[in-house]
Amino acid sequence: MDAELVAMQLFSGVALGAILIMVALGLSIIFGMLGVVNFAHGALFMVGAYAGLWVASLTGSFWWGLLVAPVAIGLFGMAIERVLIRPLYRRSVDDPLLLTFGLGYVLVEAVRILFGSDGIPFPTPPELAGVADLGIGFFPIYRLFVVGVVAAVLILVWLCLEKTRFGLIVRAGARDPLIMRVLGVDIARVWLLVFGLGVGLTALGGVLAAPMRNVNPEMGSLVLAEAFVVTVIGGMGSLVGAVVAGLLVGVAISMTALFAPEMATIVMFALMALVLLVRPQGLFGKPGRA
C-alpha cells in the first residue's frame, strides 16, 4: 500500500483524535471534580456546532462563531449546573446521570424543532481552505488548524489547573470538598465554573468539527459514544488519559477504516475491552474512581 496514503490516514486519525480529546476532556473535568457522568455531553457538542453556525451566519465570520459559541454554551452549561444538577448532588449518583440523559434528548428535539432534521453544511473559512504539503503528501489546512487549536487549548487548560490558585482549588476540591468548605472555599462556585468549563470545551469541539461534517441534530450521538470510550480507556477523571486515549482511538478508527472499513465502527469498543481486561481502571485512572 502507498506510504503516502498511510501517512495521510494517520494524520486524519490525529485530527479525529483531537476532536475526541476536546469532548472527552470536558467529560473528564466534570467527572473528576463533580463526580457527575454527563450524558448530555454529546447533545451539548451538537448545540455548540449549531451555535457556531448561527453566529457565523449572522456575522459572516467563522472566527466569531469559534469565539462566541463556546463561551455562550459554557454559560448555558453553568445555568444547567445551577438549576438542574446542583439540587441532585446529595442524592443517588444515578439521579444526575438520568437527568442529563433526559436533557440530551430534550436538547436534540429542541434543535430539531428550531433548525429541522436535515444536515446543514458549515463551510470551511476561506483562509483555511486548501491543502498543505507536509513533505510526505498533501493534507487539508483546516485539519492542521484543528490539531493546533486543540494543542493550544490543552496547554492552557494544563496551565490553568497546574499553575494557578483556581487550579489548586479544583484539584484539592476533587479530592476532599469537605475540607475545602472548612477552609472557607465556596466549593459550589468552583463546581459551577468547572461544569461551565467542561461544557465550553465540548462546544468548542462541536464548532471545530462542524466544517468537517454536516451540522445535524444527531451529530452528538456517535461523538458521545466515542468520548465515553476515550474516557474509559484513559481512565475516568484523568485529563492525561483523555489526551492519550483520544489520539489512540482516533488513529485506531482512521487506520482501521483504511485497511478494514467494515471494522472501523467497532474497533474502538474492541480496544476498550482489551484495555479493561488488563487495567479495569483505564490507562491512567485510579482504582475504584469510577
pLDDT for the residue 289 = 54
pLDDT for the residue 180 = 74
* 3-state secondary structure (DSSP) of residue 265: coil
* 3-state secondary structure (DSSP) of residue 128: helix
**pTM here?**
0.89
Question: What is the span of the domain harbouring residue 175?
Answer: 9-118+137-220
Within-domain flag for 229? no
Return all residues near 246 (Cβ < 8 A) that are at least 6 apart: 17, 18, 20, 21, 24, 25, 230, 234
pLDDT for the residue 95 = 86
Within-domain flag for 78? yes
* Cα–Cα separations (whole angstroms), residue 220 to 46, 147, 198: 5, 20, 15
Within-domain flag for 72? yes
List, in sequence order, the alpha helices (H) in the chain.
3-34, 41-59, 62-80, 94-115, 141-163, 165-175, 177-182, 187-209, 219-234, 239-259, 267-278
Within-domain flag for 244? no
pLDDT for the residue 118 = 87
pLDDT for the residue 200 = 95
Q: What is the tally of structural domains in the chain?
A: 1
Which neighbouring-strand residues pair with 132? 139
Within-domain flag for 243? no
Residue-by-residue DSSP string for 131-169: EEE-SSSEEEHHHHHHHHHHHHHHHHHHHHHHHSHHHHH
Within-domain flag for 201? yes
* 3-state secondary structure (DSSP) of residue 281: coil
Within-domain flag for 263? no
pLDDT for the residue 151 = 93
Residues 251, 236, 155, 132, Cα dihedral to 10°: 20
pLDDT for the residue 241 = 87
Residue in 41, 53, 16, 50 with CA at minimum distance from that of residue 217: 50
Within-domain flag for 131? no
Residue-by-residue DSSP string for 208-246: HHGGGS-B-TTHHHHHHHHHHHHHHHH-TT-HHHHHHHH
* Cα–Cα separations (whole angstroms), residue 213 to 96, 200, 201, 219, 262: 31, 20, 19, 9, 20
pLDDT for the residue 286 = 72
List the chain residues with pLDDT less than 70: 1, 136, 174, 287-290
Distance, CA of 155 to CA of 267 (rounded, Å): 29
pLDDT for the residue 108 = 94
Residue in 2, 40, 33 with CA at minimum distance from that of residue 203: 40
Please give the single-letter amino acid code of residue 259. Answer: F
Please give the single-letter amino acid code of residue 230. Answer: V
